């Protein structure tokens, strides 16, 4: 990967590859019971905290002696009465649908997930007997020309009784091109001992691994296409599907929503029905109510938007923003850590930060809540039915009572009583015959 990050922490559709695999494993253990162990080695100082954060156990492989060695240290103290499933942190598109049949096949035997591919270079080849029984897996480095012509490949994903792995793994050897303990040799050992090995053919995408950034991009496109197709099948319109990016697994969008081109949605996302998300918008951790319109180039993070709201174009909603029903936030406005009440409008070129805005408030163009004194943030409170004239500065902390009107161009530094008009302007001066300065020729 030519990176300072371990491969399994590179992101695929908004989430580290390892996160995809742990999520599938967690779903399985939630249904079937069990535990998740992640064997780490290279880059463990970065990988281990991620594993722990996601509720799995870390098993550290001090020496990189191959997949067989990794599984041996992972299973050495497990209850032999259970079953072990082997997954890989760089094979992130595996799903429960792929794994369930494998687990069934591996109840009493060693079961191997295989796939037929057009270009098998680099993969271990599945060798079968004349009856179709799986008798060996030959790594690419050790394969003959005849074996390299085989297009059925080993995924590296196995299921078997834990007791079988515990019996076979100590018998692995390093007599191979890589001088490593190959997990694949368990197949030959099992066959040699008279046991049947089950080979279950899965989907090609299930076994696709990542070894470089080009493959990572390829898998990202596959996963994005799956997610787009799932959305459209559920009743969501994607005007130009190939330009919409859905990052993260928690994206819930209801039918009859329309998503315009070049939109990026970063999980978690919850969108109700009959919403329109405009061209070029980027939404992260956002909840949107019914019939709302998010216009072009809106950027929003960690916000909630009510029903019948209008946002944008060119609006930025920062964390902590809560827009109630029927609110309007317009072009080149920024809202941060503020509640905006029902029917209120912040339509043009304004900044509202650390504020509590009541209902039916009109915030005029160019209004600024001056919330930062150089050391601390302070709040601005708007009552209901407040009208703020254009180009106004509100010096927090400050409270504007119900029905207050603020004259345009004011700098308001103290609380304003309900139903009052507040003005804070210097007297206008006229100087007849005023001559503007001019540049001299020299």
Instruction: Kindly report the number of other CB atoms within 10 A of residue 374's CB atom.
Output: 4
Task: State how far the alpha carbon of 328 is from the alpha carbons of 293, 322, 357, 407, in Å.
Answer: 10, 12, 12, 21
Distance between CA atoms of residues 402 and 126, nearest Å: 77
Give me the catalytic one of 140, 348, 378, 430. Answer: 348
Residues 6+ apart with CB under 8 A from 289: 272, 275, 305, 306, 307, 308, 309, 325
Distance between CA atoms of residues 316 and 294, nearest Å: 11
Instruction: Kindly report the number of other CB atoms within 10 A of residue 429's CB atom.
Output: 5
- Sign of the dihedral defined by the CA atoms of residues 404, 372, 339, 311, in that order: positive
Of the candidates 200, 84, 207, 108, the residue with the CA atom closest to the CA atom of residue 156? 207
Contact 253, 231 (CB under 8 A): yes
β 405-406/393-395 pair status: unpaired
Helix 17-32, helix 44-53: angle, nearest 10: 40
Residue 147, burial from CB neighbour count under 10 angstroms (0-12, 13-18, 19+): middle
Active site residue 348: yes
Distance between CA atoms of residues 44 and 46, nearest Å: 5
Of the candidates 82, 15, 403, 1, the residue with the CA atom closest to the CA atom of residue 245? 15
Tracing tokens 């009208």 back to the chain, one arrives at 387
What is Dmax (Cα atoms) for the chain? 110
For the annotated catalytic residues, the residue numbers are 348
């Amino acid at each position: 990967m030519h990176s300072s990050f371990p491969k399994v922490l590179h992101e695929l559709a908004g989430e580290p590859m390892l996160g995809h695999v742990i999520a599938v494993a967690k779903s399985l253990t939630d249904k079937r019971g069990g535990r998740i162990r992640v064997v780490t080695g290279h880059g463990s100082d970065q990988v281990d905290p991620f594993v722990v954060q996601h509720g799995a156990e870390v098993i550290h492989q001090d020496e990189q002696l191959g997949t067989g060695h990794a599984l041996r240290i992972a299973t050495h103290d497990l209850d032999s009465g259970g079953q072990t499933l082997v997954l890989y942190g760089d094979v992130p598109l595996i799903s429960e649908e792929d794994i369930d049949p494998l687990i069934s096949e591996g109840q009493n035997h060693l079961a191997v997930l295989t796939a037929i591919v057009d270009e098998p270079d680099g993969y271990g080849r599945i060798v079968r007997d004349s009856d179709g029984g799986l008798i060996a897996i030959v790594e690419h480095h050790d394969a003959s020309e005849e074996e390299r012509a085989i297009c059925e490949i080993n995924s590296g994903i196995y299921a078997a009784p834990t007791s079988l792995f515990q019996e076979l793994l100590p018998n692995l050897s390093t007599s191979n091109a890589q001088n490593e303990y190959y997990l694949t040799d368990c197949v030959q050992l099992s066959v040699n001992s008279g046991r049947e090995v089950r080979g279950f053919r899965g989907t090609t995408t299930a076994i696709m691994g990542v070894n470089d950034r080009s493959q990572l991009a390829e898998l990202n496109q596959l996963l994005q296409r799956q997610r787009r197709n799932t959305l459209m099948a559920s009743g969501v319109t994607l005007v130009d599907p190939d330009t919409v990016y859905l990052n993260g697994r928690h994206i819930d969008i209801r039918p009859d929503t329309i998503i315009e081109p070049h939109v990026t949605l970063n999980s978690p996302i919850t969108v109700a029905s009959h919403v329109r998300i405009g061209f070029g918008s980027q939404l992260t951790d956002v909840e949107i109510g019914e019939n709302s319109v998010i216009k072009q180039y809106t950027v929003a993070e960690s916000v909630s938007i009510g029903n019948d709201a209008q946002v944008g174009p060119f609006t930025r909603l920062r964390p902590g923003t809560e827009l109630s029903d029927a609110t309007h936030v317009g072009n080149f406005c920024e809202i941060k850590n503020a509640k905006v009440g029902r029917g209120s409008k912040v339509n043009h070129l304004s900044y509202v930060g650390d504020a509590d805005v009541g209902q039916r408030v009109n915030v005029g163009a160019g209004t600024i809540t001056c919330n930062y004194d150089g050391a601390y943030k302070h709040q601005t409170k708007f009552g209901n039915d407040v009208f703020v004239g254009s180009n106004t500065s509100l010096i927090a902390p400050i409270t504007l009572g119900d029905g207050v009107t603020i004259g345009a161009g004011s700098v308001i530094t103290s609380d304003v009583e309900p139903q009052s008009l507040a003005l804070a302007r210097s007297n206008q001066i006229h100087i007849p015959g005023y001559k503007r300065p001019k540049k001299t020729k020299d």
